[in-house]
Amino acid sequence: MSSITVLAVVSEIYPLIKTGGLADVAGALAGSLAAESVEVVTLVPGYPAVMNKINTAEAVLTVKALFGGAARVLRAKVVGLDLFVLDAPHLFARPGNPYAGPDGRDWPDNPFRFAALCQIAARLARGECPGFRPDIVHGHDWQAGLTAAYLTYDGYPRPATVITIHNLAFQGQCPAALLTPLGLPPRAFALDGVEYYGTIGFLKAGLSLSDRITTVSPAYAAEIRTPEHGMGLDGLLRARSESLTGILNGIDDAVWNPREDAWLAAPYSIQTRAKRGQNKPVLQKHFGLAVDQKALLFGVVSRLAWQKGIDLILANLDLIERIGGQLAVLGSGDPSFEEAFRAAAKARPGRVAALIGYDERTAHMIQAGADALLIPSRFEPCGLTQLCAMRYGAVPVAARVGGLTDTIIDANEMAVAAGIGTGIHFSPVTSGTLGAAIERTRKLWDAPMVFDRLRANGMKTDVSWRAPAAAYARLFRDLIPAGAQ
């Protein structure tokens, strides 16, 4: 198999900069595609967190004026990632996360910041970096959406383009008046171009103008073609059905490996999973919960956002206590949820505890020490925490939506009898159905052999990137004209 080259375009990448699963996917997919003879070079913004980790780099492109300042593109290898870094201090040398300042508010010039990323992507796609000519340009989410637009309207032949939707809730819209300032021609403002309900839509542009669209699970690929989950884009996605596929995410099984996890008090494998129990009291102490092997310990590792159904967990705290359970929450996000968990922890000492913030070590400790992981998402394009939970033997208790549908086998009576369940599903997504799922978890927990079977089934499931990477590689190769490979 001859090798092909992909230019990936993304606004965050693990382990350099991460706000969610997008970064995990960008990092791990690039690495996994190497086994498929697909070489990926990823273009990312030069945020301080990225620039600080570069040791040696070569400037491969210099741009005098990029939306109000000079910029360079650096080629660098950082922690095994092959990167183009867009060093544009006037756009990216700022505190905060990739999208917002320390006050949590989005930067007002985000349209220009990510249009800059897309313009540079288009120039790299055209071969402006000597020795680099990609066969495919693979953009992720709205931040990469204008890449296909710049490649379309400059009128030159272009490499094939793929856009992956990680979350339709973030669409990147800006006023139509920015069309010319963004360097787009008047004809781009069309129904089959960047126009979106009278504004400019970055994601909409990517979905209209890319050769292929993927999303991160087959179930979400079906859901987003319905008005209920399409967030205004379902019509376009239905029209592009032939070009839309769902490819499930995996997780990096080197980062998430319970046998060799240095953050665990007692690493374990499926064979030695009896040792897993030693991680539970350590987790309980870490959170200040009562140390009690018999308490059914629920964990949460999540952005604290409406999408994730966090309010539904808050509505079930009484129930969790009543069934003799405990809750350990790790997360950050919406200040009202952060406050609600702080208050709940105070009101229910030893039973409910919350660490507000982002902490990878604690995330690993929860996956290894909790008995079950709560994931009551209202929608979930794929979800990675249920995959981590399964690999670590925490039983996912999850809404039956999106990728959670595709990755978990509900332990109903039939599945238990057949010995194939891997978790607990509920739908529709309400506090009542979550409560019923929590009670069902308690019943399964009361049958230790059955519960252990659920754990073992999860741990046996292949949640790695191997199969998904092969699927992306097939999709990319299908887009390259015969003879060019």
Question: Out of 91, 382, 429, 469, which residue is the one contacting ligand GLC (CB under 6 A)?
Answer: 382
Return the SS3 of 156. coil
Q: How far is the CB of 216 from ligand ADP (least distance, A)?
A: 8
Q: How far is the CB of 166 from ligand GLC (least distance, A)?
A: 3
| Nearer to ligand ADP among residue 24 and residue 261 (C-beta) | 24
DSSP one-letter string for 264-320: -SS---STTGGGGGGHHHHHHHHHT----TTSEEEEEEEEESGGGTHHHHHTTHHHH
Q: Is 134 in the site for ligand GLC (CB under 6 A)?
A: no
Q: Is 24 in the site for ligand ADP (CB under 6 A)?
A: yes
Q: Is 383 in the site for ligand GLC (CB under 6 A)?
A: yes
Q: Is 26 in the site for ligand ADP (CB under 6 A)?
A: no
Task: Break the chain down into helix, strand, coil percent, rounded to 5.
Answer: 40, 20, 40
Is the previous residue joined to 159 through a cis bond, with omega within 30 degrees of 0? Answer: no
Cα–Cα distance, 248 to 384 (Å, whole number) = 10
Total residues at interface with ligand GLC (CB under 6 A): 14
Question: Out of 6, 10, 356, 384, which residue is the one contacting ligand GLC (CB under 6 A)?
Answer: 384
Determine the interface stretch with ligand ADP among 18-26, 84-92, 239-247, 411-419 (rule: CB under 6 A).
Answer: 18-26
Q: Is 384 in the site for ligand ADP (CB under 6 A)?
A: yes
Q: Of 393, 389, 83, 44, which is closest to residue 251 (Cα–Cα)?
A: 389
Among ligand ADP, ligand GLC, none, the one that 300 touches (CB under a kind-dependent 5 to 8 A) is: none
Among ligand ADP, ligand GLC, none, the one that 359 touches (CB under a kind-dependent 5 to 8 A) is: ligand ADP
Q: Is 431 in the site for ligand ADP (CB under 6 A)?
A: no
Supply 46's token pair.
């030069």
φ and ψ of 53, to 5 deg: -95, 0
* DSSP element (H, E) containing 479: helix 466-479
Q: Are 161 and 151 in contact (CB under 8 A)?
A: yes
Cα–Cα distance, 112 to 183 (Å, whole number) = 10
Pairing of strands 424-426, 395-399: parallel
First to last CA, the chain: 9
Determine the interface stretch with ligand GLC among 115-123, 124-132, 382-390, 424-432 (rule: CB under 6 A).
Answer: 382-390
The neighbouring-strand residues paired with 81 are 78
Cα–Cα distance, 264 to 367 (Å, whole number) = 10
Among ligand GLC, ligand ADP, none, the one that 360 touches (CB under a kind-dependent 5 to 8 A) is: ligand ADP
| Nearer to ligand GLC among residue 166 and residue 391 (C-beta) | 166
Among ligand ADP, ligand GLC, none, the one that 437 touches (CB under a kind-dependent 5 to 8 A) is: none
| Nearer to ligand GLC among residue 117 and residue 297 (C-beta) | 117
Question: Out of 8, 21, 203, 370, which residue is the one contacting ligand ADP (CB under 6 A)?
Answer: 21
The neighbouring-strand residues paired with 76 are 57, 83
Look-up of token digits 């409560």? 435
Q: Is 110 in the site for ligand ADP (CB under 6 A)?
A: no
Q: Is 139 in the site for ligand GLC (CB under 6 A)?
A: no
Radius of gyration of the chain (CA): 23
DSSP one-letter string for 363-396: HHHHHHH-SEEEE--S--SS-SHHHHHHHHTPEE
Q: Is 224 in the site for ligand GLC (CB under 6 A)?
A: no
Is the previous residue joined to 448 through a cis bond, with omega within 30 degrees of 0? Answer: no
Cα–Cα distance, 79 to 54 (Å, whole number) = 9
Pairing of strands 71-78, 81-87: antiparallel
Per-residue contact string for residues 327-346; x = within reach of ligand GLC by CB under 6 A: --------------------
Reading across the β-sheet that carries 195-196, which strands appear in turn? Answer: 173-175, 199-201, 195-196
Question: Out of 138, 166, 204, 225, which residue is the one contacting ligand GLC (CB under 6 A)?
Answer: 166
| Nearer to ligand ADP among residue 15 and residue 350 (C-beta) | 15
Q: Is 360 in the site for ligand ADP (CB under 6 A)?
A: yes
Among ligand ADP, ligand GLC, none, the one that 216 touches (CB under a kind-dependent 5 to 8 A) is: ligand GLC
Which residues inside 260-289 make contact with ligand ADP, applying CB under 6 A? none
Per-residue contact string for residues 392-411; x = within reach of ligand GLC by CB under 6 A: -----------x--------
Q: Is 20 in the site for ligand ADP (CB under 6 A)?
A: yes
Cα–Cα distance, 42 to 30 (Å, whole number) = 8
Which residues inside 1-20 make contact with ligand GLC, applying CB under 6 A? 20
Among ligand GLC, ligand ADP, none, the one that 302 touches (CB under a kind-dependent 5 to 8 A) is: ligand ADP
Among ligand GLC, ligand ADP, none, the one that 390 touches (CB under a kind-dependent 5 to 8 A) is: none
What are the residues binding ligand GLC (CB under 6 A)? 20-22, 25, 166-167, 216, 249, 380-384, 403
What are the residues binding ligand ADP (CB under 6 A)? 20-22, 24, 301-303, 330-332, 358-360, 363, 382-385, 388
